[in-house]
Structure 1
Amino acid sequence: MPPGKPVDPSYLRLPSDLALLQDRLASRMWNGDLPVGEDSETAMATATKRRKTRATADLRLARAVSGPPGKDGLWQHIRQKLVLGDIRHEAVDAEIESFRHNPAHLDALARRGEPFLHYLASEIERKGLPMDVLVVPMVESAFDPLAVSPRDAAGLWQIVRSTGEEHGLTVDENYDGRYDIPASTSAALSYLKHLGTVFNGDWLLALAAYNAGEGAVQRAVAASLKAGRDGSFWTLDLPAETRAYVPRILALSSIIAHPEGYGLKLRKIQNKPYLTRVEVDSKVRVAEVVAGSGLPEQEFFKMNPALKPGVQPPKRRYDVLLPVESAAALASCLDGTKPVTFRKNGGRRGATLSALSRHSGHG
């Protein structure tokens, strides 16, 4: 995720009605050839063209009838809050066809993301963002909290240092907030909300900006308008990586919305919290938190990759992400720790252990 750039109001002459935008985009085609830049972008362009040749001409959405609430667990809750799942385009069809040919990849994404999905969906909902944003870490890092790109974007949300610091992350030699799942999620959602505002609710442009940079998309929109086009995503001259990135997000959103319509099946995930945040006082050492959680050290650091064994945590209260049962165990045995939940209106409060147990379905 590249750093943001100052906003020029002249670039904001964009459609704001999402329903109208979807209708308009449904029949749009790419304008011109994919640009070729660095080697990675050349490879991306080649792969995209290859996927297009494999896409079947009759691949169209065969709508699946949704089952009763709760039938499909967390996915059912997620799909009810998607807003981009019905956008149609040949590039989106090509990406869907790629997943249809490789359903094991879709299953691997869901399996790797399973511990985080409920937490991420709850945070996205709390921030008032489209649930399609949940697909961003699928595409950015394949839900690998330790992922690092050649451009030094890091963590689940692939945040570069400057953007992370701009949105409240601490990055120093002992602690890198880009690997902190609660902190990086907050920063990424803050940035995405900013981009949604900058681009007047056009989430295709906002998602493109998350990948290519705010300024790059603003300049591409200006060039499109100057050339007499409408400034929509499909008319922009952007890097090949970005031109593949947005259709991939739209494809996954569509698959989550209508899996049976594409002959796919999503891995069953229960619609209840698996992880919860625990606030820890700065005086509490990480080793004490690991011991108090009752988790194997390897599992603890998998959920909290920003923390390191033997390294002092930030000199302030910090968060750890733990399974609900482990959070309750930690809070009961270690002073200076407190599970955190959120009210429906976004207000933050410390959870009592009994409330935490009821909320998670345990006890």
Structure 2
Amino acid sequence: MPFFSSPLSRNFPGRSSVRFARTLASLALVSIACTAFDAEAISRRDQAAVDALVERMTAAEEKYLDAIVKLGNADPAGTEQANEALEDMEDVVQACSEQRGCSMPSMMVTFKRLLKQSADAEAGDLVVVEAYEPGHGNLLHDVPEAARAAALLASDDRHQFDRMVRYNPAVQEGIRRWLTDMRDDLMTSHENYQYMRHLMWPHYERAGLPEALLFGIMAKESNGRVHSTSRAGAAGPMQFMYATGKRFGLGEDSTGFDTRYDPYAASGASVAYLNERLRELNNDIEMALAAYNGGEGRARRIHRENPGQSFWNEGLYHQFPPETRDYVPMVIAAAWLFLHPDEYGLSLPRVDVKPTALRLEQPASIYQLTICLGNRGVRDGYMRALRNLNPRYQADDVIPAGTILSATTRIAGLYRRHCLDGRRAELARTLVASDPTAAIVRAGAASPAGSAAGTAAAVAPPRQTGSYKVQRGETITSIARKFGCNARELAAANGIRAPRFTIRPGQTIELSGCRL
């Protein structure tokens, strides 16, 4: 049984609850942005358009309520119908914001009814969620997703998330740090998370764990960089140590890939780990986070020796190392900012992250794709997104044509426009194929000044053989570049199979045909 299950999550079907929250959020935001409507009479045409929008909203509400009935009767068609109804509501919201004479507050009535229906159905068991009114409270605190998150951390008065952030100086300091020196890390974490959200969030949602907690852990552990590795050996977006990861299903698969770097697998493992810690530590979020960072054995011992004490109790708190005492409030602070950005004037980056499959029509590396894609729409380009979505490939691996990569619709569109042919595509190929050793002119070599052919002849030493021990972080492509080899020929000579070209640190590579 999951640690926490909200009535909202039972009444609102899966993704529909998320869409409902977003629709309510967008409606409230637009109502804030819109000024009070001028009392002058509107034209008949405008009034007719407003009446039509009201009818559409009413029809969408009826459609949604009918879908809830179907879901209650285990009819799978209910989910699709609910999503369609909410999409209809989103369309009405957008049209209302653009239509003269359309009153946003009147549109709120539908959402208030839906929220009240959920409350009535689960009377006494529901975290009360009130509709947003301009100037009264924070919007993100009022939507179902945020209510579920707050309920986990504040259930039975054991974890009052709001109070802890507002009155706990350690968490307040964490918020200050995220908003000042670490603001760029927070922004990077949020941008990276959006690309991976569809891979990571479902595990937490199914377990009833809040999305904000997932974001907070990921932001503090890796900033959302899938290939992050610590000096201690923790790896991946959730920074699992090897032995701990193995206990929860992570490690090398049949191809040799370490699934700690896979955001989907790592998220699932982190849910299993957190739920195990919560069962052991009396559902104490702070202690579970302390175990995540400082070791579960230590956390169990401290918890056993200090029954009923919170993480913030002096005798308990100082038994954790300084790193853990810093880690816990920093995770909570990031989670709070994820839920309440507006309170702090924080504008979190939004990017187009609609997932899609991208089939490579030509061999290419992620480096090459990064260059030809450019950075339209995002400040830092798409290398991190491609690496996070395709963790099995190193950035300089030559990925064969026909390979299906995980991408977004924007990336796929830019790929077709700029990466197949044309000046930018050719430039990208030239840059990634450049060999820095070709810039070195050997003593006594005679070549015409400025002659590329002469320079190439002057610096091309005879092919030799030898061996090389693979170092940490190296790939077959980087080794080939280092020794002047053809990567595919080098892989074939050593029995390294495409498309992964997997090698491991300490492995001996025969440098047959390389220019040493």
TM-score range, shorter chain: 0.5 to 0.7
Matched, 1:303 2:389: yes
Contact 1:124 1:189 in 2 (8 A): yes
In the alignment, which residue of structure 1 is the partner of 2:220? 139
Matched, 1:153 2:239: no
Q: Which amino acid aligns with 2:266?
A: S
Aligned runs of 1:46-125 on 2, under 5 Å?
Answer: 68-70=24-26, 79-83=146-150, 84=153, 85-86=161-162, 87-88=164-165, 89-102=168-181, 103-125=183-205
Q: 1:110/1:133 Cα in 2 relative to 1: closer, same or farther (>3 Å)?
A: closer
- Structure 1 gap segments, 5+ residues each: 1-15, 18-65, 279-288, 312-318, 328-363
Distance of 2:270 and 2:392 partners within structure 1: 16
User: Residue by residue, what CA displacement relative to the aligned partner does 1:280-308 show, whole Å, maximum 9, x if unpaired?
Assistant: xxxxxxxxx96379996445544222346
Distance of 2:240 and 2:359 partners within structure 1: 26
Aligned runs of 1:205-354 on 2, under 5 Å?
Answer: 205-225=287-307, 230-235=308-313, 236=316, 237-268=319-350, 274-275=354-355, 291=360, 297-298=366-367, 300-307=386-393, 309=397, 321-323=406-408
Matched, 1:171 2:252: yes
Distance of 1:218 and 1:134 partners within structure 2: 25
Give, in angstroms, the shift of residue 123 of structure 1.
2.8
User: Residue by residue, what CA displacement relative to the aligned partner does 1:9-44 show, whole Å, maximum 9, x if unpaired?
Assistant: xxxxxxx99xxxxxxxxxxxxxxxxxxxxxxxxxxx
* SS state at 2:238 partner: coil
Distance of 2:354 and 2:277 partners within structure 1: 29
Q: 1:233/1:304 Cα in 2 relative to 1: closer, same or farther (>3 Å)?
A: same
Distance of 2:305 and 2:362 partners within structure 1: 54
Q: Which amino acid aligns with 1:125?
A: E
Q: 1:146/1:78 Cα in 2 relative to 1: closer, same or farther (>3 Å)?
A: farther
Q: 1:306/1:221 Cα in 2 relative to 1: closer, same or farther (>3 Å)?
A: same
In the alignment, which residue of structure 1 is the partner of 2:420? none
Equivalent pairs counted in the alignment come to 240
Q: TM-score, normalised by structure 1?
A: 0.56
Distance of 1:210 and 1:246 partners within structure 2: 9
Q: 1:192/1:153 Cα in 2 relative to 1: closer, same or farther (>3 Å)?
A: same
Matched, 1:195 2:264: no
Q: 1:168/1:196 Cα in 2 relative to 1: closer, same or farther (>3 Å)?
A: same
Q: TM-score, normalised by structure 2?
A: 0.41
Larger relative CO (CA 8 A, sep 6+): 1 or 2?
1
Contact 2:215 2:334 in 1 (8 A): no
Distance of 1:290 and 1:181 partners within structure 2: 21
Q: Which amino acid aligns with 1:107?
A: M
Contact 1:100 1:263 in 2 (8 A): no
Q: CA RMSD in A?
A: 3.7
Q: Which amino acid aligns with 1:213?
A: G
Distance of 1:325 and 1:196 partners within structure 2: 40
Distance of 1:80 and 1:269 partners within structure 2: 25
Contact 1:293 1:326 in 2 (8 A): no
Distance of 1:120 and 1:197 partners within structure 2: 22
Q: Which amino acid aligns with 2:337?
A: I
Q: 1:294/1:119 Cα in 2 relative to 1: closer, same or farther (>3 Å)?
A: farther
Q: 1:275/1:164 Cα in 2 relative to 1: closer, same or farther (>3 Å)?
A: farther
Q: 1:310/1:98 Cα in 2 relative to 1: closer, same or farther (>3 Å)?
A: closer
Give, in angstroms, the shift of residue 258 of structure 1.
2.1
Contact 1:141 1:158 in 2 (8 A): yes
Q: Which amino acid aligns with 1:221?
A: H
In the alignment, which residue of structure 2 is the partner of 1:51? none
Distance of 1:97 and 1:170 partners within structure 2: 36
Distance of 2:232 and 2:278 partners within structure 1: 24
Give, in angstroms, the shift of residue 177 of structure 1.
0.9
User: Residue by residue, what CA displacement relative to the aligned partner does 1:39-89 show, whole Å, maximum 9, x if unpaired?
Assistant: xxxxxxxxxxxxxxxxxxxxxxxxxxx99423679x777534322441231
Give, in angstroms, the shift of residue 321 of structure 1.
4.7
Q: 1:223/1:109 Cα in 2 relative to 1: closer, same or farther (>3 Å)?
A: same
* SS state at 1:234 partner: coil
Distance of 2:387 and 2:184 partners within structure 1: 27
Distance of 1:79 and 1:293 partners within structure 2: 44
Q: Which amino acid aligns with 1:323?
A: T
Q: Which amino acid aligns with 1:252?
A: A
Distance of 1:251 and 1:268 partners within structure 2: 20
Contact 2:281 2:303 in 1 (8 A): no
Distance of 2:264 and 2:405 partners within structure 1: 8
Structure with bigger gyration radius: 2
